Structures are given as structure tokens and as C-alpha cells.
Amino acid sequence: MSQNPLIAPLNLFDQALPFDKIQAEHFIPAVEYWIIEAKKNIQHIIDNPAAPTFENVIFALEKSSERLDQASTTFGNLEVAHGDEKIHELSKKIYPLLASFSSDITLNAALFQKIKHVHDHRKDLQLDSESMRLLEKTYLSFARNGALLSPDKKDSLRKIDQELSTLGPQFSENVLKDTNAFELILTSADLTGLPESATEAAKDLAESKGHSGRYLFNLQMPSYLPLITYSSRRDIREHVFRAYNSRATTGAHANQELIKKILQLKSQRSQLLGFKNHADFVLQERMAQTAEQVTGFLKRLQNVSKSAAQKDLQEIVDFAKNTDGIADFRPWDFAYYSEKLKEKKYAFNEEDLRPYFRLENVVNGVFEHARRLYGIVFKENTQLPVYHPDVKCYEIYREDNQTYLGLFYTDFFPRQTKKGGAWMTLFRSQGYFEGTIHRPHVSIVCNFTKPTSTKPSLLTYDEVRTLFHEFGHALHGILSDCKYQSLGGTNVYWDFVELPSQIMENWVNEKESLDLYAHHYETNELIPKDLVGKLVYSQKYLAGWASLRQIQLGTLDMLWHMTDPNLISNVEQFEDQAVSDFRLLPKVEGTNVSCSFSHIFAGGYSAGYYSYKWAEVLDADAFEYFKEKGIFNHEVAARFRDNILSRGGSEHPMELYKKFRGREPDADALLRRDGLI
């Protein structure tokens, strides 16, 4: 056991993980070992003859499984960022082990009685606000997860949680495998319309797989998006559109039956716990609070967005007809002709931006934003081990007094062992760990355009926004200043967690911001003012369409989790009916969103996808404050840091927001920003 790097003491700088020593075979022994240790700690809490107190029950419970939490988090992070077949196979054992342990704790009657005793006497304890928050959160977590159930219902809940623990990872694995299964090999004659950046990357990929003289495209975003956006070959656009939008729909990796099973189990679980449905269960711990509030919020935005989206679409349909005689406009035409129309309207092509967005410069740019706004600096550490050669590690310090703030990992390029998309995660949260308050180890994982044989990684505008978005999440973790890990950083309500990320995207449209990093990769010249002007001017282009798309996804998510699953016999039919009021283009048979909607079926966003739009209201209102005072204003940045980024979940998010802004958010700020009112 002492040779297992996930069990042995962590001796690297700030107890960094020894990624160079961690192998797949270490995970199950480590998880099993730390489960035993955690159970000993729990039993000690139960057996303690002293009267229950915050210290000997709530705080002791908070600390009871910290090395288990780190081992399991490490496994979960590697499974999605660098998961080979061995790791995916291990997940089928590790996640049930963790689910069983979680049930053992939350369904332990003796432990809950001690928690309840402390909770019942909380007014007499003179706790500070953060400790009181931890006490309330602990009690509610146990109550919401079965502590108040009868023994037979506890057994039923345990079985449900065991089964659910494997279904989400299986869903994600199916999407990844179906994504990886698609390859499109083209010749030079097939490349009309495609930018050089896309063809060069496809040529390098083809060479790497033995297809010399050909061009290989796949369904990873850096490959799929150029095809669907720029290829003048309508047959190719249709081919890749159908492939991308039918992932995990049929065949060996189909998710349709898995979706129905997940919904059945979540419904059974919520009803066991006394809720009408899974949405009601989830929303009890959200700013929105009720399904009615969420659906009302989405409906209000839908009413404003749909008419704007219809105008957006009609303009593009007319343009396609007048330009190329397209009389049967289909979904695979939208990205292509919307980009062509954008070029005509604004004399602007987003590919014009790419030479100014060299990845290394953009990374330095987000670091400079962190320095100017929050006074922190990043120093690369090439000595600490990483889990893949693409990964880089940085130490973080306060600029003024060199106080150490944590570690930051970056992992930017797609590979077959990494799921699609982009996310922020932690290998260790900020707060108490092994006897003292420790700083966090934060990571962002993306799937950006890779360097080619002749060019560095040159990002698209959307990739730059994604980097700023995920870096905003990272700042939420890095600047956390809480006592308890379970309250620190991003451990907040899901409809609040996107505020720190989405507000960072606003800086990408500001010339003052772009001048910090948008330099031509060959000449080093600043991005021209007129190009920035075209970018800013074009930002409201298709705002209605984009808004309606997000509202559609949020509504679909809510309907999946509000509907009795016994009434759902066919996934495609249910989705078609759920989105019928949003559909502005003909349905393409065999395609659907749900079978690859990992956010809600394999992530944490079930009955929570609305939170992106909810947080957009917050970030639009918050950035108006920055715009009023200056986008790098120290006073506003300090208020955002001290009341939002550093406080984690130590207070209710609306109270934190009001401390920052001085009032509740203005719901119309988002509609103003998008030009919809």
C-alpha cells in the first residue's frame, strides 16, 4: 500500500499529485483503502461519548473522507480528460463503490441523530456564518438524501443510487465512442470554401493515420465546425451534420434506452424522498427554487427571443435563395449561409481574427486580466508531473506580497481519450485538508485547435471566449477564501456557478482587453481597431437565434425531468414534441439532441441547464457595473472578488450578489446587451 501514490503521503510541492507515478491499477486499491479509513472516522464520530457539537460531528464529518475525495476526484477527472479503455472499465467498479459508501454515510441513522442534535441546538452554538452554513448544508444534505426514510425505503434508495452511479459514465462513454468512430477522408477537390487552418489540420491528422495526400476530418469541434461553417459542398455539410447530430442515437453506442432508465431511476428517487419529480428535488437547492419559476423565466425569454430568431432565420433563408438559389433551406445550410451573410453585412470573417489569437498569447492575456483585476500572477512550473504531455502546470501568487494561492493546470487539445467540450475542475478544493487550510489545485480542460506542422495553435473567436469562460470558473476556485472545502470555490448553487465564468466572456469584446493579447502571430502587430469594431458591431448578429437555442435546451431539460417517465416510450418522439414550439427549420429524421446531451444525462446539469441563461442575466447586470466604472476598475474588481469569487457557497448567492452590486440583478440587462429590447 505504501507504494501506491494515491495512498502514500503526498510529498511534492504543496502536496501536488504525482501524476507520473499514478497508474490505472492504483485507483481501486486506493479507493477501497480510503473508504475503510473514512468509515473508521465516521464510526469514531458515532462512538464518541461526548455531547454532539459542531466540532466533533459536523467538522469531523467534513474532514472524514478528504483523501478518499481526492482519490475519487482524481479518477473522475482523468476518466473524462484522459480515459483509456482501462479507466473506462474501472469506472464500472469505482463509481458503485463510491455510491455505496455515500449511501452508508447518508443513510446511517446513528450518525444522522448526532447531526440532528447539533442542528436542533444550532441557535445556542454561537457559530460564525460560514460554520452555520456548513451545519445547515450538512443537515439538509442528509435529509435530502434519505436520512429521514424508513429502513425499507433506505434500501430502495441505496439500490437506485448504485444503479445510477454507472449509467451517467456509460452515457458519456457512448457519446465519446460514437464521436471517435466517425472519420471523413477527403481529397483536395473536396475542400472548396474551407479555410487554410482547417485543411492544414486535416492534412496533418490524415498523415498521422497513414492517409498520405488526403485530408481527415472528424466530429471533434476544431474539425467539425470548419466543415459545417465554410464548406461550399452542401453534400459534405449534410453528411457531417447528420453524423454529429445522430451521435449515440442508434447502434452499439445508442443512449436511448439509457436515457429512459436514468429518468425512471431519478423519478423513483425523487418520489421516495417526497418530491413530485426530479426537477422539484433539484430546484430546492437552487436560486430559482421551483420548476414554475424556471419555466416562467424561460417562457419570458422565449417570447422575446423567438420573434427575433424568426427574423434572423428569414434573413438567412432569403440570402441563400438569392445567392445560390437554395429553395429547400435545411439545418446544414444555416452555419454556412449565416457566415456568408455576416461577411457581407459586416465585411468581416471570423477567420480574419484567428491570426491574432495565438493560444500562448491568449493564455498570457487571461493571466494579465487576472493580474489587473485581482492582483494575481502565474508562474509555470515544469518540474511538477502532469498526466499528459499537453498539460502545463502553474503556481499562482499574489502580486503584491507573493502569497502562494495554489496550482493551476491547463489541458487544451483534443485527443481520443478526452471527451468533447470544455470544463473547469479541481484536483483539490480550497479549505481544510489534513489538518490545515490548503490552497486549491485547479484545472481547465478544452478541445482547441491544435498546432499544425507550419502554424502554432491559432484559436477561433469562440475558442477565445471559451478560454475566458473556463478561466472565470478557475478564478472562482483560485480566489476562494473559505474554511471548509465543501463550501469553497465553485461549491455554490448551480444557477449561480456560471456567473464568474460568463462574466469573463464580456472582456473578449473590449479593445482595451484585446490589446493585451491579440497580436498577429507573425508580425506581432496589434489587432486593428477597425477589425475590433467589426467584431463588436457583429455581436448582436443572430442574438435572437442563439438565445432561442439556449432556451430550447433549457426547456427540453426541464421537460425531461418534470415528465412522468412512464409516459415516455420513445426518446426521439418525446424530444420532437418538447421542442416543437421552438422548431424553425424542418426536423432531420434520425437526429436528436438528447442522445448526446451529456450535460443533463452524464453531468451535473439535470434540471439545471436553464442556469446558463439565468447566470447570463447576472453577468450582463454585473458587467454593466464594470462598464460604468471601467473594465479594469480596482474598486469594482475588489467588490466582485470579495463578495463573489472568494466566498464560495458560504452565504446564499442572492445575498452575495447584493453585497457586490448593492441591489438585486436587473433582469432586463441581458435583453439590453443582446439588443432584444
φ/ψ region of 451 (left if φ > 0, alpha if ψ in -120 to 50, else beta) reads beta
How many whole angstroms from its chain centre is CA 179?
Answer: 19
Cβ neighbour number for residue 252 with a 10 Å cutoff: 9
C-alpha torsion angle, residues 490, 298, 624, 287 (rounded to 10): -40
Measured between alpha carbons, how far is 270 from 279 in angstroms, rounded to an integer? 9
Beta pairing class for 441-445 and 404-411: parallel
CA 589 vs. chain centroid, Å, equals: 29
Do 410 and 388 form a contact (C-beta atoms < 8 A)? no
Nearest-angstrom CA–CA distance, 168 and 101: 18
What cell numbers appear for 604 in the block?
451535473
E-strand stretches of 496-535:
none
Q: Is 470 a catalytic residue?
A: yes
543 C-beta neighbours (distance < 10 Å), count: 18
Bridge partners for 668 per DSSP: none
The CA-atom distances, in angstroms, between 383 and each of 18, 49, 121, 386, 636 are 11, 48, 50, 9, 37
Write the single-letter amino acid at 400: D
CA distance 377 to 412: 20
428 neighbors 16 (Cβ within 8 angstroms)? no
End-to-end CA distance of the chain: 63
For residues 501 and 465, give the distance between their C-alpha atoms in angstroms, rounded to a whole number: 10
Pairing between β-strand 404-411 and β-strand 184-186 as defined by DSSP bridges: unpaired
C-alpha cell at 625: 457595473
Angle, vertex CA 398, rays to CA 392 and CA 404, nearest 5:
65
What are the cell numbers at 641?
472578488
Burial class (CB in 10 A: 0-12, 13-18, 19+), 635: exposed
Q: How far apart are CA 572 and CA 566, in angstroms?
A: 15
CA gap 132, 346 in Å, rounded: 54
Place of cell 445556542: 124
| 30: nearest Cα among 52, 3, 50, 57 | 3
Three-state SS at 379: strand
DSSP H stretches of helix in 375-487:
461-478
d(CA 96, CA 94): 6
Which three three-digit cell numbers place residue 217?
Answer: 476530418
Task: Categorise residue 379: left if φ over 0, alpha if ψ from -120 to 50, beta otherwise.
Answer: beta
Amino acid type, 305: S
Catalytic residue among 395, 463, 470, 616: 470
Residue 550 grid cell: 439556449
Say how many C-beta atoms besides its own lie within 10 A of residue 219's C-beta.
Answer: 21
Q: Cβ-count burial of 581 within 10 angstroms (0-12 exposed, 13-18 middle, 19+ buried)?
A: exposed
- 3-class DSSP state for residue 406? strand
Active-site residue numbers? 470
